[in-house]
Amino acid sequence: MSERSRSYHHGDLRAALVTEALEIARTEPAALSLREVTRRAGVSPAAAYRHFRDRSALMGALATEIQHRMVSRMRARTADLEPADPAREALLRLRGVGLGYIDFAIEEPGWFELAFFGSAEGAAVEEEAGSSPEQVPPFAELLAALDDCVAAGALPAERRAGAEFSCWSAVHGCAELMVHGPLRGAPPAVVREVAQRVVDDIITGIR
Amino acid sequence: MSERSRSYHHGDLRAALVTEALEIARTEPAALSLREVTRRAGVSPAAAYRHFRDRSALMGALATEIQHRMVSRMRARTADLEPADPAREALLRLRGVGLGYIDFAIEEPGWFELAFFGSAEGAAVEEEAGSSPEQVPPFAELLAALDDCVAAGALPAERRAGAEFSCWSAVHGCAELMVHGPLRGAPPAVVREVAQRVVDDIITGIR
DNA sequence: TGGTGCATGTGAACACCATCCACATTGGTG
DNA sequence: CACCAATGTGGATGGTGTTCACATGCACCA
């Protein structure tokens, strides 16, 4: 396993391709091509097709991996909440989910850009059935936080339905604003302030 | 001017290229390439470079055109407001701006996708100076609506600063949700309801 | 009127890309 | 040990953006 680089067979090319693609996406997104990925993995372009139906399948795997990393960071951020009364704590968690989402987009714009690619272009038709909201990990995180709010009495039950769309819209839109939009490259202080205002406004609005 | 199609010189190739690109973007976005655009304009690929520095410059011109059409539709939608007291009327206008934005995204997904491309990829560095928020027409529309709200007493002056980011985030994020995200292809009734909930929530939240 | 300069369009080339094919190599299984 | 299925290769095809030397013809000036 140690000296696998010289052997004709790679060992675990699929994982290696995803790893290389992640690296490229983070550092020089413009260079993210199937050929470049295989090049860095030390393998011929066609080899990728033994593991992915086509380019968009690779991007889908990439998106899934990124979504999981996103959730990890969101959780790491939310973990250190000092105890408070349940309602307040649930709201703080909801706030943390939103801010964590936005932070991830700012810290890893290359990854953020690809995080929802699977649901975007090529694979639109076939996956149809398998892409319910609950299966998009960051979205699932939001759903859980909202349910918590209801359980803790911080959100009236009759306001629960549809609240996830308001929250996701505001938070995702804010992230886009900062990665692609007018706030791209704004000073971190401004960015922080805007993010907090957006998250607080939408949490106020859904209640 | 009438029989210009046979002449070596085109007449107004720049406009023709934008027109063709708009058509392609609307009907078969996947086919939107510089070569396809020139092909439809009956001209060689290189001809485009007499009018646009590169592909991303074409996309930028396209984006600008789309943004203007977006504003036109948003205005057409907001135009028929029956008079009411100023505060209520200002809020309705704000609501109309948001819903109009979302409607445009749903009705013209191909265009919506490109509307902010100019601020997205290639041209990021050089335009830096020229892309202040006020110069993005749909965003300017929002700013105006918010100022109206303050003037009409529907929004406290101390809540005005930053409100545009909350609104744009929610509305743009909602549009993305419907074009690329989990709500893509959802029944129109659901889409309508979600859009209204999102817009109403954020308007509640900013006040 | 005739000539010329400059903007505009052409054709061919380059480098890159995704994708497919027949073929080579191999690790594991009978 | 032999063979098979899985995996990787090299090369070809047709697409892309971009550049270059060259062709064309409109507008203006002598």
Closest nucleotide to B12 by C1' from CA: C8
Tell me, what's the pLDDT at B104? 97
A114-118, A119-123, B135-139, B162-166: least confident range: A119-123
Tell me, what's the pLDDT at B78? 82
Q: Which of B173, B180, B203 sits opposite A120 (nearest CB)?
A: B180
Q: Which of A113-127, A128-142, B5-19, B165-179 has the highest mean pLDDT?
A: B165-179
Residue B18, pLDDT above cutoff 90 = yes
CB B161 within 8 A of CB A197: no
Q: Nearest C-alpha of chain B: how many angstroms from A133?
A: 6
Distance, CA of B148 to CA of B203 (rounded, Å): 14
For residue A128, name the pLDDT band (cuts at 50, 70, 90). Answer: very low
Tokens 């690779």 -> residue: A58
Mean pLDDT calculated for residue range B160-172: 98
Q: Identify the H or E element spanning A114.
A: helix A109-114
**What tens digit of pLDDT does each residue of B94-134 get?**
999 999 999 999 999 999 999 987 554 434 444 444 567 77
Mean pLDDT calculated for residue range A123-149: 77
A1-5, A130-134, B99-103: least confident range: A1-5
How wide is the angle at C-alpha B67 spanned by C-alphas B149 and B175, nearest 5°? Answer: 70
Mean pLDDT calculated for residue range B131-146: 89
CB B174 within 8 A of CB B195: yes
CB B145 within 8 A of CB B97: yes
Distance, CA of A86 to CA of B66 (rounded, Å): 47
**What tens digit of pLDDT does each residue of A5-33 get?**
457 777 899 999 999 999 999 999 999 99
Q: Which residues of B touch A (CB under 8 A)?
A: 116, 119-120, 124, 128, 131-133, 136, 139, 162-163, 165-166, 168-174, 176-177, 180-185, 193-194, 197-198, 200-206
Q: Show Cβ contacts of residue B202 under 8 Å, excluding neighbours closer than 6 positions.
A: A166, A170, A201, A202, A205, B98, B166, B167, B169, B170, B171
Tell me, what's the pLDDT at A6? 57
For residue A127, name the pLDDT band (cuts at 50, 70, 90). Answer: very low
For residue A125, name the pLDDT band (cuts at 50, 70, 90). Answer: very low
CB B170 within 8 A of CB A170: yes
Candidates A166, A192, A196, partner chain B, best to mutate (most B CBs within 10 A) = A166
Tell me, what's the pLDDT at A79? 79
Tell me, what's the pLDDT at B131? 65
Please give, chain by chain, protein residues whose CB is below 7 Å from any atom of strand D: A 8-11, 13, 43-47, 50-51; B 7-9, 31, 33-36, 45-46, 49, 54-56
Tell me, what's the pLDDT at A10? 78
Contact A177 B165 (CB under 8 A): yes
Instruction: Give whole-number Cα distances, A14 to A23, A34, A38, in Å.
Output: 15, 12, 10
User: Taking the CA of residue B69 as centre, how many other CA atoms within 13 Å lie in the half-sphere pointing to its CB?
Assistant: 19
Candidates B32, B116, B166, B190, partner chain A, best to mutate (most A CBs within 10 A) = B166
For residue B43, name the pLDDT band (cuts at 50, 70, 90). Answer: very high
Residue B4, pLDDT above cutoff 80 = no
Contact positions of strand C to protein Cβ (< 7 A): 7-13, 16-22, 25-27
A2-6, A45-49, A178-182: least confident range: A2-6
Q: What is the mean pLDDT of chain A?
A: 90
Residue type, A137: P
Task: Enter the tokens of residue A56.
Answer: 């968009």
**What tens digit of pLDDT does each residue of B86-100 get?**
999 999 999 999 999
Question: Mapping DSSP to helix (H, G, I), strand (E, B) and coil, where does residue A47 land?
Answer: helix
Contact A202 B201 (CB under 8 A): yes
Q: Which of A163, A170, A204 sits opposite B169 (nearest CB)?
A: A170
For residue A118, name the pLDDT band (cuts at 50, 70, 90). Answer: low
Residue A42, pLDDT above cutoff 90 = yes
A133-137, A153-157, B57-61, B178-182: least confident range: A133-137
Distance, CA of A198 to CA of A191 (rounded, Å): 11
Tell me, what's the pLDDT at B120? 45
